[in-house]
Structure 1
């Protein structure tokens, strides 16, 4: 089978159409758009994971603690906690982490780098997810909904605290 190489990445593909798609991903083009909220994704797997956010599906369940995940990569990182695996080590201080993305974010403590900046107020963050959470302050978006009473929250942790009311757990 003939292999087609992406000129901007290191991957090779069996179909020229896959190369075209790969090259468009490097330019930031997004193919998969959510009908529910309009968010767009370059990768199908991320789009599917995002759809699970809307429908509440968490197909990857830990057989040790019962915690469930929307994404396989999140589940794999979680399993490292039970196995006490921390294969990613900071070269500056030696701190070991369970996932490569955690290491990337952690290393910004040493560099002071805050590459994710709010386009409304200029506040900068070390992680994209922290910027996304911050931006909800400006947009008023409340994506975390209680499936028992319908109350909505801007932040996941606020929903988690609220859910303790329904379970009778002390806050």
Structure 2
């Protein structure tokens, strides 16, 4: 890549990568007009309109529009917790839960109230707080 120096084995992968720099989004949804840089992301998006859920859990039958959501769901059956805290060792099934947990160690509070300035580590706590105004 002339922009960042990253190398690719296939020209097609370089072309896709270049879109991260140019912002080009050549794939558009015919229903809502949303655009995407990758055709695969358009295919996933179209499922929001069609309701298609092609990925099913073999254990309970629950279906998902994205394979990644099925993978996350399967952890509810297996108990797998692949994301571990380097500070205290606590483990999580979702990376987003590890991110939230890490804030208990760092004290980070990225969600701030626009009215009074009070900050929170969880967006849900900000939402609850905003109801008090």
**TM-score, length-scaled by structure 1:** 0.53
State the structure with more CA Rg. 2
Match of 1:73 in 2: 68
Q: Report whether the alignment pairs 1:58 with 2:53.
A: yes
Q: Does 1:112 align with 2:100?
A: no
Structure 1 unaligned residues grouped into runs of 5+: 115-123, 135-171
State yes or no: 1:97 paired with 2:92: yes
C-alpha change, 1:62 and 1:6, in structure 2 (3 Å) is: farther
Aligned residues: 115
Q: Indicate if the aligned counterparts of 1:6 and 1:22 stay in contact, CA closer than 8 A.
A: no
Q: What root-mean-square deviation, in Å, do the aligned CA atoms of Structure 1 and Structure 2 show?
A: 3.3
Q: Which runs of structure 2 are paired with 1:8-157 in the superposition (5 Å)?
A: 8=4, 10=6, 12-15=8-11, 17-104=12-99, 106-107=101-102, 110-114=107-111
Name the structure, 1 or 2, with higher relative contact order (CA <8 Å, separation 6+): 2
Q: Which runs of 4+ in 1 moved over 4 A?
A: 124-127
Alpha-carbon distance, 1:47 to partner: 1.9
Separation in 1, partners of 2:18, 2:120:
29
Does the 8 Å contact 1:6/1:12 carry over to 2?
no
